[in-house]
């Protein structure tokens, strides 16, 4: 496998040929971030000025319920705007590394947007569910640590509580390390789904864990290698120049990790879409 230095050199070759596309993709994501933040700000201003229907909500709906509803609305907004955009961005960077035409991919996304939204949201929700379930034991043990350390009074402390505190603290630290390792194991899932959108999401998670076996240290070293150069570069160059290069480097790195499992199904999907479109004309 290539070293981090060789990956960076390979990424420089791709970036030299497609730096304009990388900058355009970066500004597209900036636009998505601004759109989400502007939407949140507009809702906040409407609520502060008691504009309809927010005046009715503030009068008759409890504040806790209102916060839950706003949180749910914000989550749905992120799911519908941010997650599909990240899926498409990942696909565009794969296209840069693979040498495919981004205009054709963009046309395919425009014609099959409901399919892209469904795949990207399903993948994101499944990974969130898996990570949340594996993190739950650490949250429970950390709550026990909080109760023993900050809620229990000194006169109520006993040997049993101290033993429980030490056991819960040790379990929290060990499980947090396990959870971070598990999150790293799932890092290839999004790329597997992006390359093969029709794959079962749980099969993609299983394949990612198998491919990342014994590669966790390599994953960490890759980001350490890139971040130590990215931070100084941000002092000299704008983020629109530096961040696309890092994304291209990461895409090359993922292709190295996947090896023979890097099987791009999009060219065939686009070709079938073209044939169906031509048949309907």
Q: Where are the domains of the chain?
A: 4-280
CA angle 173, 176, 178 (to 5 degrees): 115
Which ranges constitute the DSSP H helices of the chain?
4-48, 54-60, 63-98, 102-111, 113-146, 159-185, 189-195, 201-211, 216-236, 239-258, 266-280
Q: How far apart are CA 126 and CA 18, in angstroms?
A: 33
Question: Rg of the Cα trace of the chain?
Answer: 23
- Evaluate whether 243 touches 26 at the Cβ level (below 8 Å): yes
- Number of Cβ atoms within 10 Å of the Cβ of 17: 11
Q: How far apart are CA 120 and CA 161, in angstroms?
A: 46
Tokens 């291209």 found at: 248
Distance of CA 262 to the CA centre of its chain: 19
Q: How far apart are CA 192 and CA 102, in angstroms?
A: 19
pLDDT of residue 165: 81
- Evaluate whether 255 touches 262 at the Cβ level (below 8 Å): yes
pLDDT of residue 276: 80
**What does each of the 281 residues of the chain score in pLDDT, given as a tens digit?**
788 889 988 998 999 888 888 888 888 888 888 887 887 777 777 766 766 666 666 666 666 666 776 677 777 777 777 888 899 999 999 988 888 777 788 888 888 888 888 999 999 999 999 999 999 999 999 988 888 777 665 556 677 777 888 888 899 999 999 999 999 999 999 999 999 988 999 999 999 999 999 899 999 999 988 887 777 777 777 778 888 899 999 999 999 999 888 988 888 888 888 888 777 65
pLDDT of residue 183: 94
pTM of the predicted protein model: 0.85
pLDDT of residue 69: 67
Kindly report whether the peptide bond that precedes residue 56 is cis, defined as omega within 30 degrees of 0.
no
Q: How far apart are CA 76 and CA 46, in angstroms?
A: 19
pLDDT of residue 145: 85
């Amino acid at each position: 496998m290539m070293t981090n230095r060789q990956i960076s050199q390979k990424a420089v070759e791709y970036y030299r040929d497609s730096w304009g596309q990388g900058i355009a993709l970066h500004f597209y994501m900036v636009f998505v971030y601004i759109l989400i933040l502007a939407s949140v700000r507009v809702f906040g201003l409407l609520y502060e000025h008691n504009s309809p229907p927010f005046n009715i909500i503030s009068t008759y709906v409890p504040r806790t319920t209102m916060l839950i509803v706003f949180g749910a609305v914000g989550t749905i907004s992120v799911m519908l705007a941010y997650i599909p955009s990240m899926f498409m961005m990942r696909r565009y960077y794969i296209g840069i590394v693979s040498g495919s035409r981004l205009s054709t991919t963009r046309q395919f996304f425009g014609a099959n947007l409901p399919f892209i939204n469904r795949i990207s949201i399903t993948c994101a929700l499944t990974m969130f569910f898996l990570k949340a379930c594996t993190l739950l034991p650490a949250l429970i043990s950390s709550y026990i640590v909080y109760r023993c350390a900050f809620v229990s009074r000194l006169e109520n402390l006993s040997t049993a509580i101290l033993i429980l505190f030490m056991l819960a603290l040790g379990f929290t630290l060990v499980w947090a390390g396990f959870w971070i390792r598990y999150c790293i194991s799932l890092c290839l899932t999004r790329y597997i789904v992006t390359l093969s959108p029709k794959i079962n999401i749980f099969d993609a998670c299983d394949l990612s864990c198998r491919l990342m076996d014994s590669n966790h240290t390599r994953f960490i070293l890759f980001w350490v290698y890139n971040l130590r150069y990215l931070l100084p570069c941000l002092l000299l160059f704008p983020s629109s120049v530096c961040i696309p290069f890092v994304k291209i480097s990461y895409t090359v790195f993922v292709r190295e990790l996947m090896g023979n499992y890097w099987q791009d199904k999009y060219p065939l999907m686009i070709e079938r879409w073209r044939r169906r479109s031509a048949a309907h004309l």
